[in-house]
Amino acid sequence: MLRLSGVKTYYGAIEALRGVDLEIRKGEIITLIGGNGAGKTTTLMSISGIVPPREGKIVFAGEELNGLPPDRIVAAGISQVPEGRHIFPDLTVLENLDLGAFLRNDRAAIRQDLAYVMDLFPILAERRNQLGGTLSGGEQQMLAISRALMARPKLLLLDEPSLGLAPLIIRQIFEIIRRINSEHGTTIFLVEQNANLALHVAHRGYVMGNGRVTMSGESADLLGDDRVKSAYLGV
């Protein structure tokens, strides 16, 4: 479904991605783990067109994404939930969700998807007329994920969904990630600092360091790898 080949991305003269190769197959949950500054968020931003790569290829569902603006990439079927959520604080929950479907005109299907995200996150149904900025951090993360789902993506990019949340809310969020994948077949690319949590929800994983993929494999294999245990699992 998605393939990155030799992707190099820069911030000015600084090379943030140094030839990244990875593949995501349809229906998978894939996680990308690594330390701060490893290049995880830049990988997502390169895929979504926010920080386009200077070299290499990004191909999604047979279409090369290089050079496409972010709105075209969303229209192709990729939605990103950014780190820090970035909901619209002065709009209501419903208005935020409507914006997630701004490229769509299939009103009946939009209503179905709205009902689906309200079922995933019942608290959003209760808060539907509340301003986004008045929600708790966990509720804002739920809203950010729901807004991305309103685009009906084929591939959902999640950047640090557990960041700053209480353990109980984190467990709820990750259970919902499983549901989105199993119930809708949505492919998910998950960037997450909590490597243990991410590898338990994902089918496969990639480990990134210094702008490069340094390891990859089935999640169970990575969880059992002594290098991963030492560097990322605190074992």
The pLDDT assigned to 6 comes to 98
In a domain, 112, yes or no: yes
pLDDT band at 172 (very low <50, low <70, confident <90, very high): very high
Q: Count of domains in the chain?
A: 2
Same domain, 164 and 139: no
Of 112, 132, 150, which residue constitutes the final position of a domain?
A: 150
pLDDT band of residue 235 (cuts 50, 70, 90) is: low
Residue 47 covered by a domain: yes
Residue 128 lies in a domain: yes
Model confidence pLDDT, tens digit, residues 71-96: 999 999 999 999 988 999 999 999 99
- Based on the fold, state whether residues 133 and 219 are members of the same structural domain: no
In a domain, 115, yes or no: yes
Is 215 found in the same domain as 170?
yes
In CATH, what number is assigned to the domain containing residue 182? 3.40.50.300
- Give yes or no: residues 131 and 165 share one domain: no
pLDDT at 234: 74
**Same domain membership, residue 160 and residue 227:** yes
Whether 26 and 140 map to the same domain: the answer is no
| In-domain check, residue 44 | yes
Task: Say if 213 falls within a structural domain.
Answer: yes
pLDDT tens, position by position, 17-33: 999 999 999 999 999 99
Please spell the DSSP secondary structure of the chain, one letter per residue.
Answer: -EEEEEEEEEETTEEEEEEEEEEE-TT-EEEEE--TTSSHHHHHHHHTTSS--SEEEEEETTEE-TT--HHHHHHHTEEEE-TT----TTSBHHHHHHHHTTT---HHHHHHHHHHHHHH-HHHHHTTTSBGGGS-HHHHHHHHHHHHHTT--SEEEEE-TTTT--HHHHHHHHHHHHHHHHHH--EEEEE-S-HHHHHHH-SEEEEEETTEEEEEEEHHHHHH-HHHHHHHS--
Domain that residue 138 falls in: 92-150
Q: pLDDT tens for residues 178-195?
A: 999 999 899 999 999 899
Statement to judge: residues 53 and 165 lie in one domain: yes
The confidence score (pLDDT) of residue 95 equals 98
